[in-house]
């Protein structure tokens, strides 16, 4: 059996007493180019290294970001599954131990799939993902219908911004929209000079948001990630920062964020709620049409 095949086998067999509950995290932003893919890829990698089973869904497939980052080819995506042209097993790309790429689809074509039989088949296929501890979705930027669909289906939405004023304005607009559909909302300020700068930017956004949205808003700072030119270089060289440059500041910052997400998951599991999980995720995702 090839390494890829045996890894897939491991993904599908490891039921671990049925105790797993998939936490779905959507990483999004108002403006493009703020670091969503960098964060999604590296957070997923760190979580997988901590022993969690992680699915990384590229829902910004138009840019084919994540397959480039991981230097793999993904020629089919969830749209092919919906069309019945491929099964989930065919499209999932094992990246590392515990880490699987799920090529997604950002186009609106996915919205056509409202047919009940297709939807139920898709949910059946999705059951293999029940073994995942985390599903991290790298969404496109902005608030299009498809993106909102992914955000709605997530347990937690992470809005990424950078210090530039245009990005902050767009991040704020994003928070405003998402706060209407999600109560668990957090923020990462990427490419900061210092954590102090990150906190200051977050505080400003939070203040304006609370002023306009009111007490219903539950917006938390997930962390800030310092800027380092080696990050941009690493993408060109197809090197994952947290894997191969793990000593640089942004890598340690992303590790801290991943650990916070892991701690949150443990906490939620202790709460033993019945909601959430991948079955619920796809039902929520597809039940909206
Ligand atoms: N902390 C950082 N420091 C320096 N460059 C960064 C950092 N985070 C992301 N970048 C760079 O910014 C660019 C955009 O990042 P990317 O993850 O592709 O953004 P998005 O997915 O939001 O479009 C890339 O060249 C990436 O390497
Ligand atoms: Mg991207």
Over residues 189-210, the pLDDT tens digits come to: 999 999 999 999 999 999 999 9
In this structure, is residue 3 part of a structural domain?
no
Burial label for 84, CB within 10 Å (0-12, 13-18, 19+), is exposed
In this structure, is residue 133 part of a structural domain?
yes
Q: How far is the CA of 264 from the centre of ligand 1 (A)?
A: 25
Pocket of ligand 1 contains residue 190 by CB under 6 Å: yes
The domain of 198 spans 22-286
Pocket of ligand 1 contains residue 14 by CB under 6 Å: no
d(CA 194, CA 142): 26
Question: Which atom, in ligand 1's list, is nearest to the CA of 230?
Answer: 4
What's the whole-model pTM score?
A: 0.85
In the block, residue with structure tokens 């909601």 = 275
State the total domains in the chain: 1
Which ligand sits closest to the CA of 36?
Answer: 1
Pocket of ligand 1 contains residue 35 by CB under 6 Å: yes
Pocket of ligand 1 contains residue 37 by CB under 6 Å: yes
Instruction: Report CA-CA distances (Å) from 212 to 31, 40, 102, 143.
Output: 21, 29, 37, 19
Over residues 138-159, the pLDDT tens digits come to: 987 887 776 777 788 788 999 9
Over residues 39-93, the pLDDT tens digits come to: 999 999 999 999 999 999 888 755 657 887 888 888 888 788 878 888 888 888 9
For residue 213, give the CATH number of its domain: 3.40.50.300
């Amino acid at each position: 059996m090839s390494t890829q095949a045996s890894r897939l086998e491991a993904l599908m067999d490891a039921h671990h007493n049925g105790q797993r509950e998939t936490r779905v995290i959507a990483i999004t932003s108002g403006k493009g180019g703020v670091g969503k893919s960098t964060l999604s890829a590296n957070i997923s990698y760190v979580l997988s290294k901590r022993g969690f089973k992680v699915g990384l869904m590229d829902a910004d497939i138009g840019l084919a970001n994540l397959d480039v980052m991981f230097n793999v080819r993904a020629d089919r995506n969830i749209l092919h599954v919906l069309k019945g042209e491929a099964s989930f097993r065919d499209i999932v790309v094992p990246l590392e131990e515990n880490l699987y790429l799920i090529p997604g689809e950002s186009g609106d074509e996915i919205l056509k799939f409202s047919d009940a039989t297709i939807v139920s088949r898709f949910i059946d296929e999705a059951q293999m993902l029940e073994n995942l501890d985390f599903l991290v979705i790298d969404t496109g930027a902005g608030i299009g219908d498809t993106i909102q669909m992914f955000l709605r289906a997530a347990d937690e939405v992470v809005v990424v911004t950078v210090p530039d004023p245009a990005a902050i304005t767009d991040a704020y607009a994003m928070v405003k929209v998402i706060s209407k559909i999600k109560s668990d909302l957090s923020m990462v300020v990427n490419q900061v000079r210092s954590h102090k700068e990150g906190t200051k930017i977050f505080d400003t956004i939070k203040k304006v948001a609370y002023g306009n949205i009111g007490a219903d808003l539950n917006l938390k700072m997930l962390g800030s990630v310092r800027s380092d030119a080696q990050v941009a270089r690493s993408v060109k060289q197809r090197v994952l920062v947290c894997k191969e440059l793990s000593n640089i500041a942004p890598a340690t910052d992303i590790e801290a964020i991943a650990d916070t997400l892991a701690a949150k998951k443990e906490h939620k599991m202790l709460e033993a709620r019945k909601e959430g999980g991948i079955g619920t995720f796809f039902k929520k995702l597809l039940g909206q049409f």
